[in-house]
Amino acid sequence: MLLALLLAAAPAPAAAAMAPTAADAKAFVAKVNEDLKKLWVRQATAEWIKSTYITDDTERNAAAIDEEVMAFLGKTVKEAAKFRAVKGLEPDVERSINLLRFAQALPAPSDAAKREALATIKAKLEGMYGKGKYCGKDDAPADKKKCRDLQQLSAVLAKGGSYEDQLEAWAGWHTISRDMRTDYARLVDLANEGTKEVGFSNTGELWRAAYDMPAADFEKETDRLWNQVKPLYDDLHCYVRGQLSKKYGAQKVPLDQPIPAHLLGNMWAQEWGNIYPLVEPYKGQPSLDVTASLKKLKYDEKKLVKLGESFFTSMGMDPLPASFWERSQFKKPQDRDVVCHASAWDVTFANDLRIKMCIKIDEEDLITVHHELGHDYYFMNYYTLPVLFQQGANDGFHEAIGDALTLSITPEYLKKLGLIAAVPKDDKGLINLQMKDALEKIAFLPFGRMIDQWRWDVFSGKTPPAEYNQHWWELRAKYQGLRAPIARTEADFDPGAKYHIPANVPYMRYFLARILQFQFHRAMCKASGHQGPLYTCSIYGNKEAGAKLKAMLAMGASKPWQDALFAMTGEREMDATAIIEYFAPLSGWLKEQNRNLRCGW
pLDDT tens digits for 530-568?
999 999 999 999 999 999 999 999 999 999 999 999 999
Q: What pLDDT does 17 receive? A: 52
Q: Is 279 helix (H, G, I), strand (E, B) or coil?
A: helix
Find the mean pLDDT for residues 462-491: 98
Q: What pLDDT does 143 receive? A: 56
Q: What pLDDT does 139 receive? A: 59
Q: What pLDDT does 412 receive? A: 85
Q: What percent of the chain has pLDDT over 90?
A: 83
Whether the CB-CB separation of 67 and 123 falls below 8 Å is answered with: no
353-356/482-483 β-pairing: unpaired
pLDDT band (50, 70, 90) for residue 339: confident
Q: What pLDDT does 464 receive? A: 98
In the predicted structure, residue 178 carries a pLDDT above the cut 90:
yes
Q: What pLDDT does 422 receive? A: 82
Shortest CA distance to 355 belongs to which of 333, 389, 334, 331? 331
Kindly write down the DSSP assignment for every residue of 110-133, as one continuous string.
SSHHHHHHHHHHHHHHHHHHHT--
Q: Is 343 helix (H, G, I), strand (E, B) or coil?
A: strand
* Averaged confidence pLDDT in the chain: 92
Q: Is 108 helix (H, G, I), strand (E, B) or coil?
A: coil
Q: Which residues contact 242 (CB under 8 A, 6 or more apart)?
A: 255, 593, 594, 597
Q: What pLDDT does 288 receive? A: 75
346, containing H or E segment: strand 343-346
Residue 281 CA to residue 599 CA, distance in Å, equals 18
- What does the DSSP 8-state code read for residue 479? I
Whether the CB-CB separation of 539 and 405 falls below 8 Å is answered with: yes
In the predicted structure, residue 7 carries a pLDDT above the cut 50:
no
Burial of 261 (0-12, 13-18, 19+ CB in 10 A): buried
Nearest 5°: the CA angle 574, 575, 579 is 135
- Residue 554 φ then ψ, to 5°: -65, -20
Q: What pLDDT does 3 receive? A: 37
Q: What pLDDT does 250 receive? A: 95
80-95 exposure pattern, b = at least 16 Cβ within 10 A, e = fewer: beebeebeebeebbbb
Q: Which residues contact 231 (CB under 8 A, 6 or more apart)?
A: none
Residue 236 CA to residue 241 CA, distance in Å, equals 8
Find the mean pLDDT for residues 178-183: 97
Give, in order, the Cα–Cα distances in Å from 109 to each of 70, 75, 192.
Answer: 8, 10, 8
pLDDT band (50, 70, 90) for residue 45: very high
pLDDT band (50, 70, 90) for residue 473: very high
In the predicted structure, residue 218 carries a pLDDT above the cut 80:
yes
Residue spans of the domains in the chain: they are 20-128+184-199, 290-317+358-424+508-593
Q: What pLDDT does 266 receive? A: 97
422-451 exposure pattern, b = at least 16 Cβ within 10 A, e = fewer: eebeeebbbbbbbbbbbbbbbbbbbbbbbb
pLDDT band (50, 70, 90) for residue 2: very low
